Structure 1
Amino acid sequence: MDFTISPALEDLRQRIAAFVESEVLPLESDEGAFDDHENIRLDLLDELRARARASGLWCLQLPEEDGGLGVGRTGMAVCYEEMNRSIFGPAVFNSAAPDDGNMMVLSMLGTEAQKREWLEPIRDGKVRSAFAMTEPHPGGGSDPSMIATKAVKDGEDYVISGHKWFITGAGEASHFILLARTSDDARNGLTAFLFHRDQPGWEIERRIGIMGPEEHGGHCELSFDGLRVHESRILGGLGRGLKVTQTRLGPARLTHCMRWLGLAKRSVEIASEYAARREGFGVRLADRESIQLMLGDLGMQIEIGRLLVMKAAWAIDRGEYARAEVSMAKIHVANVLHRAVDRAIQINGARGYSKDTVLEWIYRYARQARLVDGADEVHKMVINREMAARGRDFWSWRVEGAADELD
């Protein structure tokens, strides 16, 4: 297996790293750079985005024909880590959730007309977007088959009614992808619809307060009562909503992992820097075996996460859904992020618990990693289901030259 990257990709990684170092990291220590929800101020973000785009560091995730850099999932894994060395990084390069996943699914499944109307404005940074799937009980969460929001055919329109919540970015979004039930068919009963925030028949009931810092637009509760969507705004085909979710959520989960690895590495960086200069009882923290064991273990666990992510990215680049691979990466990296920042705070002591570093920000943000896009337990069930279906072949290697058997 070849883990080398091309000189062009390495050049891109270095340019992203330099941009983050000079343009983005300094803002983390400026209280005035934050908005009321502990993210980067939108006007300041727009300035940075313009500079990033002018530097050719924009929309890595899209293929060249859709206006991106076309680096593929493995290239994204390399670059997204560098972006999220800063807590503000991904948004600067238009590679933050939920726009990131929405652009990828629109690129893969949208018609040319839909790409012009719905994808291009997100790609160009003119609008933000949201993916409206999750519902309160008894509706669908990790199990899309439980989705209760309904879309009823009326002429050339569908009339939608229902309830969604924890919809990331909805408060700032203009373009929405909405999953609703168009029939009771177990496999083909869901459909994905595209709608604009200015359409009547829906509202944001509230922005749900959360423990950690928030993405722009927060996490909102939405109600639908007569939203009309023309049939031309169906994404991926009638009754193909499950395919839309599979197409979107697999890569989107993986990009979360790519970004989280960047935050885990940043946590270790802050801990290592402090341990190298802090002394207690005549000994540097970095010279204490207990600290060396902590940091060494984190280095190994982060590297395991990087390998899991890269294998899943490689499989997706080959056309696979890579369900088990993505689930393994999601579980491991989510837990590594939490462990890394927790130990970094422990090494930094009161300094780590204070706002003198970004560790407390990362710590509060990290707890959601084990929940978003499927809880740990759900992903372990996915892995077990794949094991049961494939038997001993679950651990097989791909053979060069053999016929591909993709998902």
Structure 2
Amino acid sequence: MSGIGPERTAALAAKVEAFVRDTVIPYERDPRRDHHGAPTEELVEELKEHARAADVLTPHILPDGSHLTQRETAVVLTASGLSPLGPLACNTAAPDEGNMYLLGKVGSPDIQARFLKPLVEGRARSAFFMTEPDGGAGSDPSMMQTHCHQDGNHWVINGRKTFITGAQGAKVGIIMAKSDDGACMFLTDLPHPAIRIDRVPNTIDNSMPGGHATITIDNLRVPADQMLGNSGEGFQYAQVRLSPARLSHCMRWRGACIRAHEIATDYANRRMAFGKTLIDHEGVGFMLAENMIDLKQSELMIDWCAGVLDGGSLGTAESSMAKVAVSEALMRVADRCVQVMGGMGVTADTIVEQVFREIRAFRIYDGPTEVHKWSLAKKIKRDWKAAQAGSGVA
């Protein structure tokens, strides 16, 4: 990736940050929310129109269709994340950002024209159908139970999916299913009569339009040319998407925690207790100091992993390390912000309590901390065995 260079990246990030602070943040009190507390489609479309007018819609994808480097993307997505509404307004939110990256990398020209173009233009939302209920694929994708078989020039898909972010209201679906050859990945238009939303549960987070739905797929027929690649290559393409997508989560939520830290810092410098401002009490001041440390360490971890991905590696181990380190560090930051603000920190009067909830969910989404640690431990064992074999040690 060649990117646009540090100066243009800084200017673009500053433009995105100014838009989020000046235009998006005032919308945080907008009452247009669904019964799960997520912003309505009407609100999201209005924000996108503002972003389009400000020339900050989908800023991580250049007019020629190429992407910023991962390091450049980190700066821009962090700026968009300063408000929970920022990624929705700027079209940098999950799952769309990860889906755009995947289709831009491996989609055929026809797939890109039909499915990718409306996503990049902010005219459609998408959903990624991978996780399953009832003993199916989750942290272990090899357990996939949704199956597919070829019927003439179509593939027929049956199964159930769960925690499918944004499925309600999405126009583009990417579905993973298992054939006799292995995992496959398909594109389909949404809504579709063969794809039924069974329920959308209330969850601890509510920043994503459409929530996290449970889905039944009943004899969905997909034209063969809407398969990504070939039968059995689905896991390969999933890794193309998941490694940078994990890192993008880290970028956006770091932006949210920077904002929460700003709010907590302002509160601690204004609130008086026992004859002095809160920040002058070591118990409070030290928490804010620890926030600075965790935010900086998160920035460095993101930059390191982004460099690996920019170097051409899938970076599976690196993205696992970044996901664990950053999500755990940001959870500490969000928790301290609530604690510093006391009663005010648990109210909806600021975004601090929402950031806390969203980061708590982030520790699970895209692989829980424990699964990533387990994966890294397996790598440590493999590397040790390889080193032993190479040294001739029995």
When normalised by structure 2's length, the TM-score is 0.93
**For residue 403 of structure 1, what is the aligned residue in structure 2?**
none
CA separation in 1, counterparts of 2:103 and 2:210? 20
93-102 or 234-243, which deviates more:
234-243
Aligned residues: 383
1:288 to 276, 281, 287: 281
CA separation in 2, counterparts of 1:168 and 1:44? 18
**For residue 110 of structure 1, what is the aligned residue in structure 2?**
107
Partner-residue secondary structure (3-state), 2:203? coil
**For residue 37 of structure 1, what is the aligned residue in structure 2?**
36
Cα distance per residue 1:359-401 (max 9 Å; x no partner): 121222221111101010111122222333334999xxxxxxx
**For residue 24 of structure 2, what is the aligned residue in structure 1?**
24
**For residue 137 of structure 1, what is the aligned residue in structure 2?**
134
**For residue 73 of structure 1, what is the aligned residue in structure 2?**
70
Query: Shift in Å at residue 64 of structure 1?
Result: 4.3
Query: Shift in Å at residue 65 of structure 1?
Result: 2.9
The 1:203/1:40 distance shift into structure 2, 3 A limit, reads closer
Letter of the 2:319 partner, please give it: V
2:327–2:362 Cα contact (<8 Å) kept: yes
2:298–2:326 Cα contact (<8 Å) kept: yes
322-331 or 101-110, which deviates more:
322-331
CA separation in 2, counterparts of 1:252 and 1:289? 38
36-45 or 163-172, which deviates more:
36-45
Partner-residue secondary structure (3-state), 1:293? helix
2:264–2:337 Cα contact (<8 Å) kept: yes
After superposition, residues 73-92 of structure 1 pair within 5 angstroms as 73-92=70-89
Partner-residue secondary structure (3-state), 1:32? coil
CA separation in 2, counterparts of 1:63 and 1:312? 22
**For residue 60 of structure 2, what is the aligned residue in structure 1?**
61
CA separation in 1, counterparts of 2:255 and 2:209? 20
1:216 to 209, 212, 224: 209
Query: Shift in Å at residue 39 of structure 1?
Result: 3.2
CA separation in 2, counterparts of 1:227 and 1:34? 31
Is residue 206 of structure 1 aligned with residue 199 of structure 2?
yes
1:250 to 230, 240, 243: 243
Query: Shift in Å at residue 199 of structure 1?
Result: 3.5
Query: Shift in Å at residue 134 of structure 1?
Result: 0.3
CA separation in 2, counterparts of 1:199 and 1:171? 11
CA separation in 2, counterparts of 1:384 and 1:105? 28
CA separation in 2, counterparts of 1:202 and 1:355? 35
310-319 or 54-63, which deviates more:
54-63
**For residue 128 of structure 1, what is the aligned residue in structure 2?**
125
Letter of the 1:10 partner, please give it: A
**For residue 172 of structure 2, what is the aligned residue in structure 1?**
175
CA separation in 1, counterparts of 2:295 and 2:167? 32
**For residue 399 of structure 1, what is the aligned residue in structure 2?**
none
CA separation in 1, counterparts of 2:149 and 2:385? 45
Query: Shift in Å at residue 200 of structure 1?
Result: 3.4
Query: Shift in Å at residue 324 of structure 1?
Result: 1.6
Letter of the 2:90 partner, please give it: F
Letter of the 2:165 partner, please give it: T
Is residue 101 of structure 1 aligned with residue 125 of structure 2?
no
Query: Shift in Å at residue 264 of structure 1?
Result: 1.5
Mark the runs of 5 or more structure 1 residues left unpaired by the alignment: 395-407
2:294–2:330 Cα contact (<8 Å) kept: no
Cα distance per residue 1:19-78 (max 9 Å; x no partner): 1111011222x2425444333343232222123223321223335432x6x321111111
Letter of the 2:104 partner, please give it: S
Partner-residue secondary structure (3-state), 1:65? coil
Cα RMSD, aligned residues only: 1.8
2:60–2:76 Cα contact (<8 Å) kept: no
Letter of the 2:329 partner, please give it: V
CA separation in 2, counterparts of 1:77 and 1:275? 29
CA separation in 1, counterparts of 2:222 and 2:267? 55
1:193–1:234 Cα contact (<8 Å) kept: yes
CA separation in 2, counterparts of 1:137 and 1:62? 38
After superposition, residues 196-345 of structure 1 pair within 5 angstroms as 196-345=189-338
CA separation in 2, counterparts of 1:150 and 1:44? 37
CA separation in 2, counterparts of 1:350 and 1:311? 37
Mark the runs of 5 or more structure 2 residues left unpaired by the alignment: 388-394
State the identity %.
36
Partner-residue secondary structure (3-state), 2:290? helix
Is residue 375 of structure 1 aligned with residue 368 of structure 2?
yes
1:163 to 160, 165, 172: 160
CA separation in 2, counterparts of 1:46 and 1:325? 35
Letter of the 2:256 partner, please give it: L
Partner-residue secondary structure (3-state), 2:159? strand
Query: Shift in Å at residue 161 of structure 1?
Result: 0.8
The 1:392/1:149 distance shift into structure 2, 3 A limit, reads closer
Cα distance per residue 1:284-312 (max 9 Å; x no partner): 11111121211111111111111111111
350-359 or 126-135, which deviates more:
350-359
Cα distance per residue 1:225-269 (max 9 Å; x no partner): 211111100013221100111011111111000011111111211
CA separation in 1, counterparts of 2:16 and 2:195? 39
Partner-residue secondary structure (3-state), 1:320? coil
